[in-house]
Amino acid sequence: MTGLDQLIIGLTALILAVLGGLSVVAGTGLSSTISWMRLAPDLWDGILIGAVFILLAVYLLLIIARQKSEPAVVHQAELGAVRIGVSTIKGLINKKARDIDGVKDCAVTVVQTEPLLVRLDLQIQPDYNVPSLAEQLQQQVKEYLAETMGIEVAGVEILVRGIGETARPRVS
């Protein structure tokens, strides 16, 4: 939803809320100054119409409030900006990390989008040199995102959360 759409829906909701309030007041007959707003001769008809206006306004405002765009990294291409969602970046990094020997499990967090800074929480397999594995992973993630998405990575933080067990063969 664009900013213009949100503005139009917001103004519509505001108008509906004002009309709803005026309809309720006119329907109750409490104000002679807005008696021209009486929409129906019966008290309850005016109140009902006003309540519908107010509910529609609240519904539209809730739609606007729920519309949150996903954070994204913006890559400026020749013909315009390309927005790459954080979930897409996380998925690519996760895939790349799991392809590296020694990485058993990986959880990716995008710390910030401009400049792009990511954190990888890893569980690695035993008998791997942690500093070497971390450096290899940092370099490959940076190169992979540059090649596939055209995104410059400012930093790749690594946190080794644990060392997993190697699978032992079952003896029958």
Q: What is the mean pLDDT of the chain?
A: 80
Task: Pick the range with the lowest mean pLDDT from 28-37, 60-69, 108-117.
Answer: 28-37
Task: Name the CATH architecture for the domain at 84-163.
Answer: 2-Layer Sandwich (3.30)
What is the pLDDT at residue 9? 76
Q: What is the pLDDT of residue 5?
A: 66
Per-residue pLDDT for 64 more than 80? no
Pairing of strands 72-77, 80-85: antiparallel
Q: Tell me the pLDDT tens digit for each residue of 128-151.
A: 899 999 999 999 999 999 999 888
Residue 33 has what pLDDT? 42
Domain ranges of the chain: 3-66, 84-163
Which one has a higher pLDDT value, 139 or 83? 139
What residues contact residue 127 under an 8 Å CB cut-off, 6+ apart?
A: 166
Highest mean pLDDT: which range of 26-30, 38-42, 50-54, 115-119: 115-119
**pLDDT category of residue 68 using cuts at 50, 70 and 90:** low
One-letter amino acid for residue 2 of the chain: T
What is the model's pLDDT at position 123?
Answer: 92
Six token digits for residue 153:
């990575």
* pLDDT reported for residue 32: 53
Roughly what angle, to the nearest 10 degrees, separates helices 43-66 and 3-28?
160
| Bridging pattern class, strands 116-124 and 153-163 | parallel
The pLDDT, as a whole number, for residue 74 is 83
Convert the pLDDT of each residue in 12-42 to its tens digit: 778 777 777 776 776 666 655 455 444 445 6
Q: Which residues contact 131 (CB under 8 A, 6 or more apart)?
A: none
